[in-house]
Amino acid sequence: MATDHVSMGARLSSAARNTLKSLVSPTSERQREIRRIVSLCLPFTVLLLFSGVFPLAEMFRISFSESRLVTEGFTTESYRTLVADPYYRNIAFNTLWFAAATTVASISVAVPVAHALEKYALPAKSVILTVLSFPNSLPGIVAAFMIIILFGNTGVFTNAVAFISGQSSTDIAFSTGVLGLFFAYIYSMIPRALLLLRGTYSEVNTDAEEAARSLGATPLQTFRYVTLPQIKPGLIGAFILVFRTGLAIFGTVLILKGLLVWTLQIDRELAQGFNIAQASAMATVWFVFVFGFTILMLRYTTAEVSI
């Protein structure tokens, strides 16, 4: 048994040495190609390790720290708080249902929009496309400001309704409520969902749709039984992307404050007494959850999910 281990270890180390040797001085064309691939991926890997993996590992270590200003000791206090305290469980629940609801809402809007863009002859299509992709480059704080412009105390919509109904505008304004936050979320989510759905829509087989229509299916039936199965990978891809986006939103909710979500609480841990261990524990939970969710869900789609 022991000799087995030794020979196994020896075999592994000699394999590693051989791999390294073939990378440094390759002898076959295949080995040269592997060296090229490795050297092409190397700069990105270095960046990923230095600015991604290493800080995240450090954050993981801090989440167990007993002391606040230096990382020392080991305690699972922060995680126990997250599990036991109903305050945090409530925040987790808020974050998840709100992200799920906004994701479903923005995909339900994005599907008809992608449909219209692909199937209908629209005037000024390039302008429409620019408008639809413009919010992708806006940070969350600007999306929040857009909602204030529409539904805030001096917002256009608020004042228009106040003018018609005669109520006070502060009674109508809902930008700082949950509904306002909902609109702010979908302001940045609809364009994201479209990014993916438009790609999927352009690959839909139109012959099958025309066949279904000429066989007597209504447009809705055609969509339900012919188009929908074909755009399913795009829908799942859009769900992954938009749900991730929704969980990561921070600037928007920092301004509107409609709902206490996970990211806002992370900031509050820092702002109220610099409790970095708790903030790190929350960020770690966030990271593990979203990482696991993405890896798991990517199995169910062939669509290329990218930001």
Partner 1 sequence: MADRFESGSLSARFGRSFVTLVLALTLLFLAFPVVMTFVSSFASDWFGVLPTGFVTVGNWQDVIFGTGVGADVAVGSSLAYSTGLALGGVVINLIVGVPIAYAVARYDFWGQDWVNVFAILPLAPGIILGIAFLRTYPDLSTSGIALVIGYSLLKAPYMVMAVQSSFQSMDLQQIEESARSLGASWPRTFLTVIVPNARTGIIAGSIISWTLAAAEFNFSYIVYSRGTPPLAIFLFNNITNASFLNAAAAVSVFFLLIALVTITLQIIGNRGSVRRV
Give the shortest CB-13-to-partner 1 separation in angstroms: 21
Query: In angstroms, what is the minimal distance from the CB of 45 to partner 1?
Result: 8
Please, what is the minimum distance in Å from the beta carbon of residue 135 to partner 1?
A: 6
274-303 residues in contact with partner 1 (CB under 8 A) are 276, 279-280, 283, 286-287, 294, 298
Of 7 and 269, which has the nearer Cβ to partner 1?
Answer: 269
Question: What does the alpha-carbon distance between residue 123 and residue 108 come to, in Å, rounded to a whole number?
Answer: 23
Q: Which string of x and - marks every residue 26-65 that binds partner 1 (by CB under 8 A)?
A: ------xxx-xx-xxxxxx-xxx-xxxxxxx-xx--x---
CB of 83 to partner 1, least distance (A): 20
**Residue partners of 225: CB distance under 8 A and separation at least 6:** 212, 217
1 or 288: CB nearest partner 1: 288
User: Which 124-183 positions form the footprint of partner 1 (CB under 8 A)?
Assistant: 128, 130-132, 134-135, 137-142, 144-150, 154, 156, 159-160, 163, 183
Helix axes 125-133, 178-201, angle to 10 degrees: 130
Kindly list the distances between the CA atom of residue 10 and the CA atoms of 15, 16, 23, 24, 134, in Å, as whole numbers in the listed order. Answer: 8, 10, 20, 21, 58
What's the closest the beta carbon of residue 114 comes to partner 1, in angstroms?
A: 10
Residue pointed to by tokens 């969980």: 247
Burial class of residue 56, CB neighbours in 10 A (0-12, 13-18, 19+): middle
Q: Is 130 exposed, middle or buried (0-12, 13-18, 19+ CB in 10 A)?
A: exposed
Interacting positions 192-221 with partner 1 (CB under 8 A) = 213, 216, 218-221
Residues in the chain: 307
* 278's tokens: 């708790």
Q: State how far the Cα of 243 lies from the Cα of 4, in Å rounded to an integer.
A: 48
* Rounded Cα distance, 279 and 88, in Å: 12
- What tokens appear for 17 in the block? 């040495």
Closest to partner 1 by CB, 43 vs 86, is 43
- By the rule CB under 8 A, 229 interacts with partner 1: no
- Count of residues engaged in binding partner 1, rule: CB under 8 A: 90
Of 57-116, binders to partner 1 (CB under 8 A) are: 58-59, 62, 71, 109, 112-113, 115-116
Binding status of residue 187 toward partner 1 by CB under 8 A = yes
* Closest distance of CB 178 from partner 1, Å: 18
